[in-house]
Amino acid sequence: VLPVAVISKKRDGLELSEAEIRFMIDGLVDGSVPDYQISAWAMAVLLNGMSEVETACLTDAMLESGGRLARASDRPRVDKHSTGGLGDKVSLVLAPLLACCEVDVPMLSGRGLGITGGTLDKLEAYSGYRCDLTPLEIDRQLQRLGCVITGTTPDIAPADKKLYLLRDVTGTVPSIPLITASIMSKKLAATLDALVLDVKFGSGAFMQDLESARRLAGSLQATGERMGVDTRVILSDMNQPLGRMVGNACEANEAVQILQGQGPSDVRQLTLALGAELLVAIGRYQQTSLAVTALAEMIDNGAALRRYQLMIEMQGGEYKDQLPLAASSVLTSSSEGWLAGLDGQLLGQAVIELGGGRRKLGDRIDATVGLEMLVRIGDRIEHQQPLVKIFSASNATSRKAAYELLESAFSYSSEPVPPLPLIVSEGITAS
């Protein structure tokens, strides 16, 4: 096999064999196929696509480039992955909640980059929280607690790490097969029985429209099923932040409110829906509604919150019911009407301006800054009505830039606007 032959075959729209895909990925990892061939191939994949079989082969080759986590117990082993959006703190609630239901949740998460926050950054708002657990530490914590949220270990899918760095600078990120293989190779390395995917669409999501989100969801699910893991998908709205809080400590605090049986209903609803899919997938319940009830009980009896606190502490963090936030001010409306749209890109950029997100990998972030959304799409907005509370520790220039971004993020209609449904498509199972 010659790299140029594999590139040319994909360029010509043909299907690659498993051996050809493995050759490229192995060559990427051992350096025998240089970056300039990988990037040309990635562009051909982006523009000409991959079949389900090819995508599964790519995922498998990337998974096999590294190791897998060992099973820690004979409990079922499940995980959730979200394609990312503003205010998405579901992982913080869901991992301890599921652990209360006698399943193991080995959640390997990432950091925020661009407008999307990162679960690890939110947990690091607890002073001392460690995201660099070794496979052995992950194993021990799962045995004792049933849940862990930590960074991927260096041994997990090294091919994905190299390929992602290259895709990021060669315009080859927005490819459904490449995204699928990137997500699934890392998730499946955790040795799962079931996986639920929260695929988000809308102005604050990677996939801006429902149709693209559906295509990605189909690809993720088909790949999971081909690789022998019961894989479920929920499509959820990201045309406005999930919950009220956006920012790291802000979101950790809101997660605790949810675990206390309080907080905004959309976060609770989505968390329960995602968890219920997993409990049905492993056969714990036949009906989603029963699974939802069981999960809600673990919130309402305080078990999930206790498990969350234990997880924070076992990973070295200093738990607080509510973490301190930066000083706040309020942006009020200069128009009136029905709130018709919230530009998620602008909201996310405002958080970055405040110091709560990263422009590039390695940027430091300030956990105490963020936003509290005071209105939702469909609300009637009066002149001078408070729209968003801004927690800001940054200098005047950045704060001014953030305010300007926020002001332009809101759009109004003179006609009533219906509220947006949160979950568009629930419980998609294998075709």
Name the residue among 168, 131, 160 with its Cα closest to residue 66: 160
Name the residue among 190, 199, 245 with its Cα closest to residue 219: 199
- DSSP character string of 75-131: S-BEEEEE---TT--HHHHHHHHHHTTT-BEEEEE---BTTB--HHHHHTTSTT---
Question: Does the active-site annotation cover 383?
Answer: no
How many angstroms separate the CA atoms of 50 and 53, rounded? 8
Question: Does the active-site annotation cover 182?
Answer: yes
Residue of the chain from 24, 28, 29, 43 that contacts a second copy (CB under 8 A): 43
Which one is catalytic: 182, 185, 219, 236? Answer: 182
Question: Does the active-site annotation cover 186?
Answer: yes
Which one is catalytic: 167, 187, 232, 358? Answer: 167
Q: Which stretch binds a second copy (CB under 8 A): 37-45, 127-135, 264-272, 273-281?
A: 37-45
In terms of Cβ atoms closer than 10 Å to its own Cβ (0-12, 13-18, 19+), residue 420 is middle
How many angstroms separate the CA atoms of 131 and 109, rounded? 9
Residue of the chain from 15, 18, 35, 225 that contacts a second copy (CB under 8 A): 35
Q: Is 306 in the site for a second copy (CB under 8 A)?
A: no
132 vs 168 by CB, closer to a second copy = 168
Q: Is 320 in the site for a second copy (CB under 8 A)?
A: no
Question: Does the active-site annotation cover 214?
Answer: no
Q: Is 245 in the site for a second copy (CB under 8 A)?
A: no
Which one is catalytic: 88, 139, 160, 237? Answer: 160
Q: Which stretch binds a second copy (CB under 8 A): 169-177, 253-261, 318-326, 350-358?
A: 169-177
388, 240 Cβ separation under 8 angstroms: no
Residue of the chain from 1, 14, 47, 330 that contacts a second copy (CB under 8 A): 47
341, 418 Cβ separation under 8 angstroms: no
Q: Is 260 in the site for a second copy (CB under 8 A)?
A: no
- Within the chain, what is the greatest distance between any pair of CA atoms? 67
15 vs 155 by CB, closer to a second copy = 15
Dig out the tokens for 85 from the structure.
Answer: 């959006």
Residues assigned a catalytic role: 81, 160, 167, 182, 186
Positions in the binding site for a second copy (CB under 8 A): 3-4, 7-8, 11, 34-44, 46-48, 166, 168-172
